[in-house]
Structures are given as C-alpha cells and as structure tokens.
C-alpha cells in the first residue's frame, strides 16, 4: 500500500532545490567560453577596459588552462559529482521530509551550463513554487555564494520569473555537524594512507581557496568561517596531529589572504617535515584546484622539496555522509521557516555593491532583509541584464 | 579534622604557575621605560638601526601614550586584574587538584615588572620544582605567547635557573569550554545594556588585536584560532544577532591583517547601523586597547558617525567564570602529563627564529618537541642574554 504522504506528494508541486556552485568546463572546448565569462564578471574581477582586456586575458590563458584540464581527464568532474550528490540528497529528503516532498534539484553554475537561467526555466516547467537556493560552498564569501545568489536573482529578472517562486536561501553551513562528519571522514581516509609509523607525524595542511585582501578587508566572513570549519573538524577528528591552515590559488598582481599553501610547503620542507596531508576544506567536489593544483603542481613541488609522503585527503565527491548532511541541512532549513540566515542579511561593512544580500520574493518577510527592491537595486539588476543579454 | 591531602600539601613543594602576559605601564612614569623595552625587542619589532631608531620612536611616542594612560586613570589595570584572576585560580586549584597542591602563582610580563626574571627568582625562593607556563593570551600567536615563552627560557638561562624547574606549557586555550562560557557571559552583559527594542538589532563586532601580514603569512595560527573562538562564543550564545570579526590597533607603515575595526565602523555607519556591541575576543583584562582605543577613540568615532548605541562588552577582568576556567585548564593540563600542546611543537612554516617552540627542561620528553637544545638555539639564547643584560 502506498503511504498517504507519498500519495499526497505526487499531487503536490515539487519543492525545488537549486544547488549553486561555480561549475567548470566539462570538455576542453568549454575552457575558453568559461574563461571569457569569468573575466567578464565585474562582481568577481575588476579590470580597466574590461570589455577589451577581459577577453584578451581569457584567450591568452586559455591554452594553458586547457592543458591543465587535459591532464586531469579532459574536463571538470564538478557537474558529475553535483548530480550524484543531488540525487542522493533528494532521495533522502523525500524520506526525511515527506511533508515537503517531492523534492527536485536544479543546478545553477556561474560560467558554464546549466546556468541560473536554465535552472529557473526547468523549475517553471516542473511547476515548482517553493524554491530553496542552496549554496554548495560551505563557507560564505561574497566572491562565491554572494555572487551566485546575485546572479540567480538577476537571472530571475531576465527570465521574467522573479515572482514565479517563493524563495529561501541556505547561504552557509561551515560548521553543520553533518558537514563536519563528512569532512572528518575524508581526513581519516587520508590519514589511513600513511604508514602506521608515519601517521601521527603527518601534518594536516588545511587548504582553502584564497581571497583578495581587498575583499577580506571589506569584512567578508570567509576567513572566520574557514577557521571555524577547521576547528570543528579537528575537534571531531580527535587526534593529536599538528595542523595548519593555508590558502591556495592566488593569481594576478593583487594581494591575497595568506599564508599561501605553496609557500607553506616550502617552509615545511625546510623544517624537514616528511609527512603532509593536505585537506581541501572549502570544496565539496574535486575540481582543477584539487586534481591539478594540489595533486600535481603542489604534489610535485612537495616531493621535489623532500616532503616524501605528500598526500591529499579525498574530496567528499560521492560520500554518503555528504548526502546525509545535504539532506539534513535542507530539511532543517525548510522546517525553520527562515528566508535566510541572520548573517546573510549583514552586508559587508565595506560593501559597495547595491545588489548584495537581496532575496527575490522571499518565502517569509525577514525582519532584517532588504526585501524591498530599491530603485538602486532595480537599476543594478537592469544593468546586469543588459550586460548579460546584450 | 584536616583532610589528609591538605596535610600532605603543606609539606610539598608548591606547583608554580607562571602567568604570561604583555603587561602595561602601571603608572605614568612607567610609560617611557615600557615603550623603550618594547621598541628594543627584535622578536616583535624589526627596525633598521634599532639601537638608535627604537629609542627615538619610543621617546617620541611616549608623551602621546602617556596622555592616553592618563585618561584611563593613570596606568594599566592589567597587573591588578592578573592578581585577582590568579588568586581566584589558585584558590580553586587547591580544591580541584589537591594532589598537585599547594599551587602558587607568579606573573611574568614582557616590558614591565614583574618580569620573567622576577618570576623565576621568586619560584626559586619558594622551593618550586614543577612549573607550568600558562599563557594569558587565549589564542596563540608568535607575537604574544610565542615571544613570552622565548623570553621565559632566556630569563631562565640568564638567571642560571634553566634546570631548576621541570616545565610544562599551556600554550593556547581558544575554545576551552570554560573560556567560552566566561566570554559568552561578557557578551550577554553587553547585550543586556541595550534597550530591549534594540537588542536583537545589535551587531556583535568581535575585535581582536591585529597582526602584521608578514607574521600571518609565515603561518601564524592566530587568525584561525580567533575564528574558532568567535564561532564557539556565537554557538554558546545561541542568539540570532548578526556578527563580524575585525582587527584593531594596527600601527606603523607595515600591512596588517584586516578588516580593520575602525574601517568596519565607518562601513557600518554608512549602512545606517545604530546598535553595535564591540566584543574584545583576544584579551582577558581591560587595558589600553579596550579602555582607550575601543571605549574612547572608536566610541567617539562611532557616535560621531551616527552609531548612536555603541557599547562594549566588559572585559572578563574579575569574572568568576574566568577563574573557574583558568583553574580547570590548569587542572586538566597537570593531569594530562603533557609538556605542551601538539600545536606548540609546530613552528610556523616560515619561521626564521631558531629559538621558537622550545621548552626548557620539559616535564616529560614530548616526541615532537625540539627538547634538545641545539647549538643554534644556544647561540640565540646567548645573544638574547647579551642584548638583555648588556
């Protein structure tokens, strides 16, 4: 016999869960378009004469980046892993939260398909009304989750779907116990690959994507949240291994948040450390920064410097614990009735982007949210539409 | 009837607990000598022609700093509060840990008395054998705890007391539950001073002393540990208030870790925030950075910018919860048998100070500690002695 909630669920409009992430080029031919879109995004990169200089830099970097993707199998696995995670999440959610079932997932990447526009149009086709924007970056930064949300709201305006859905936002989960469990499991797996005699000596080098100091100095919460994630993982892990936190992937002439993972490896080598486990703390899936930068670039560097046992904790990728965490996070969120976390309502002290910290058509008026679209915001959204569609 | 352990305790050598902190000028006449010592310390400040330029800067800054101390009552209350905290700690410890009683405390400040030399000589007079160096900085930085410990070991060498005591070290306690309880109580007190109607709107602005980026980039653990403290306090507090972390007290021409508390206040004012509670997260007692910089300088600034309800959470000062925490931390440490935390054994990746992360005559060989005094360390200590005594 079909349980009553399952029968009801089939009649109901699905709850749409939009997974926000950067995305990556799926094939080698996607590399150049991906870079062109990235270097055109003024929310992330500000260049003088961006309309000319952006494409110039993107095209010049393209062959090099293409080679990096070639070396890791011809493209980014992020879409693959996001699908795996999303399917596991939705299966669990239908069971955990029958009152909001059925749940359907939609992927919204930034510079590659499926885009926010694709996600919104698919939601409309599926008859979604209640929608949750669920960032796949555990720690919040304006450069990641903030800009993904801004793009989602711009896409809603572009597609004429601003009022089509009632939105709420899961904007961060840096210390959610389920996430910490899943991350800690990857560290245990990484440690288990050391010889027992070396294991206790292994230094845990947590590595997160760096952020330009310009963004840090505006009051971006990312460094504090990364620090909190590291703390919770170490507490959950319960081992006496030494650890430190560093930041990777800095590029270009601006100043970035340190210490740099690369320079830390030089320093550890000079101090004769032989056993290092690098732990990507800010990503849920493998992509170019783990498979190429950490495993190849820094791995080769570390070994050449004498760090003979340099290993990386696996990304969570297909981890069942991550899918448990994602489902639990969404269920708790849906049952809280909140439109977003209190922190999302707090614009960075130095923020100059008038679109920031907006929720389109929020499920519930949230006292501290700028839920009224100001003239300033409307102009900003319109200018974004002009740029994106023009 | 006297309990047996109390009877025994009276016959036993006391356990010496050395409280390490920066200290501050107790009277206005102590200001210049304090600054002269600070600007002579190459572990903290590196100047070209330090022997000439250091005294020059110290003497030039002295009248201005003297005025700041004059305005807060004629001196730093840090010695007063340290005595209060230490007495409460020792009273509790004798009860909590009779097997290591009696406990005696000694204060070791950096640039004012009592110095490390004073503490060591007093310990010798009291017949101490087992000694614990207990940092009063909850979060570890080479610029604070690291340099205090280095100075303690140099002082031991200077006074011929290197082998007089069996040492262990409490080198950090950023997330100890007792500390988090005590800090959280100060935030609650601060919040209670807002009108009920304003309380939920109050932004919690955690403020920690900043650090030069040069030190951050070497791999100093301070920013990560500050992030973890903030996380634990917010979790313990259990309120929905928005919060952010900023860094104060940057000085001179070098680059410091941001966002700067001062610039954050400008940003919050421009976003029409009216209710701000600043929370000093890295200090246990009031001193110039709370009483002068936060309360006067930033308080005046905030109000002039329109942050009409700018308040500061009280420092822990005479908090009974802090004394509970200190006693618990020492008891747990004594019973763990450890010479120091695993993290203390980890020199910063970019460290160039050969004296760092040394424990003189440690109570127990600790596998990862550089317990053997190398030729390099001996030379460094000797050169420090020459500088300090010459």
pLDDT tens column, A178-191: 999 999 999 999 99
With helix as H, strand as E and coil as C, how does chain B read? CCCHHHHHHHHCCCEEEEEEECCCCCCHHHHHHHHHHHHHCCCCCCCCCHHHHHHHHHHHHHHHHHHHHHHCCCCCCHHHHHHHHHHHHHHHHHHHCHHHCCEEEEEEECCCCCCHHHHHHHHHHCCCCEEEEEECCCCCCHHHHHHHHHHHHHHHHHCCCCCCCEEEEECCCCCCHHHHHHHHHHHHHHHHCCCHHHHCCCEEEEEEECCEHHHHHHCCCHHHHHHHHHHHHHHHHCCCCCEEEEEECCCCCCCECCCEHHHHHHHHHHCCCCEEEEEECCCCCCCHHHHHHHHHHHHHHHHHHCCCEEEECCCCCCCHHHHHHHHHHHHHHHHHCCCCCHHHHCCCCCCCCCCCCCCCCECCCCCCCCCCCCHHHHHHHHHHHHHHHC
Question: Which residues does chain B have within 8 Å of residue A244's beta carbon, measured at their own beta carbons?
Answer: 219, 221, 224, 346, 349
**pLDDT for A376:** 54
Smallest CA-to-CA distance from B211 within B139, B279, B268, B149 is with B139
Of A227, A342, A351, the CB nearest to B223: A227
Tokens of A387: 């740029």
Q: Give Rg (Cα) of chain B.
A: 21
**In this complex, do B228 and A227 lie within 8 Å of one another by their Cβ atoms?**
yes
The average confidence (pLDDT) of chain B is: 91
Max distance between CA atoms of chain A, in angstroms, equals 67
CA A255 to chain centre: 22
**pLDDT for B370:** 41
Residues in chain B where the model's pLDDT stays below 50? 1-7, 366-374, 380-381, 384-390
Residues in chain A where the model's pLDDT stays below 70? 1-10, 365-390
CB pairs under 8 A between A and B: 140
Tens digits of residue pLDDT in B272-305: 999 999 999 999 999 999 999 999 999 999 999 9
**pLDDT for B65:** 94
**pLDDT for A3:** 45
The residue in chain A having the minimum alpha-carbon distance to the alpha carbon of residue B367 is A201
Question: Which residues does chain A have within 8 Å of residue B203's beta carbon, measured at their own beta carbons?
Answer: 346
Question: Which residues does chain B have within 8 Å of residue A264's beta carbon, measured at their own beta carbons?
Answer: 219, 349-350
Give the global pTM: 0.90
**pLDDT for A43:** 85
**pLDDT for A181:** 98
DSSP state of A256: B
**pLDDT for B136:** 98
């Amino acid at each position: 016999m079909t349980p009553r909630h399952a029968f009801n669920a089939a009649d109901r409009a699905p709850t749409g869960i939009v997974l926000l992430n950067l995305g990556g080029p799926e094939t080698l031919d996607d590399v150049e378009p991906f870079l062109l879109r990235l270097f055109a995004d003024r929310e992330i990169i500000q260049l003088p004469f961006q309309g000319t200089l952006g494409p110039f830099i993107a095209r010049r970097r393209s062959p090099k980046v293409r080679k990096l993707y070639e070396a890791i199998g011809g493209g980014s696995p992020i879409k693959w892993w996001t699908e795996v995670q999303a399917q596991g999440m939705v299966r669990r959610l239908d069971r955990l939260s029958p009152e909001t079932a059925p749940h359907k997932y939609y992927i919204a990447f930034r510079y590659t398909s499926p885009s926010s526009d694709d996600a919104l149009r698919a939601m409309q086709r599926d008859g979604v009304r209640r929608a949750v924007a669920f960032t796949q970056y555990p720690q919040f930064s304006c450069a990641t989750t903030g800009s993904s949300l801004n793009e989602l709201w711009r896409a809603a305006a572009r597609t004429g779907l601003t009022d089509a859905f009632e939105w709420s936002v899961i904007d961060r989960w840096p210390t959610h116990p389920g996430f910490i469990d899943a991350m800690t499991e990857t560290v245990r797996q990484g440690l288990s690959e050391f010889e027992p005699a070396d294991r206790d000596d292994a230094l845990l080098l947590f590595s997160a994507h760096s952020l330009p100091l310009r963004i840090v100095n505006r009051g971006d919460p990312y460094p504090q949240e990364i620090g909190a994630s590291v703390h919770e993982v170490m507490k959950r892990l319960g081992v006496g291994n030494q650890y430190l936190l560093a930041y990777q992937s800095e590029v270009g002439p601006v100043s970035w948040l340190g210490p740099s993972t690369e320079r830390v490896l030089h320093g550890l080598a000079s101090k004769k450390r032989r056993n290092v486990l690098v732990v990507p703390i800010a990503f849920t899936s493998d992509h170019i920064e783990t498979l190429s930068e950490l495993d190849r670039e820094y791995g080769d560097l570390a070994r050449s410097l004498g760090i003979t046992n340099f290993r990386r904790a696996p990304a969570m990728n297909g981890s069942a614990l991550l899918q448990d965490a994602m489902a639990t996070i969404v269920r708790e969120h849906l049952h809280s009735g909140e439109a977003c976390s209190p922190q999302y309502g707090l614009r960075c002290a130095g923020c100059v982007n008038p679109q920031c910290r907006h929720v389109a058509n929020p499920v519930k008026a949230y006292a501290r949210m700028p839920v009224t679209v100001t003239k300033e915001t409307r102009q900003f959204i319109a200018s974004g539409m002009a740029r994106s569609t023009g």
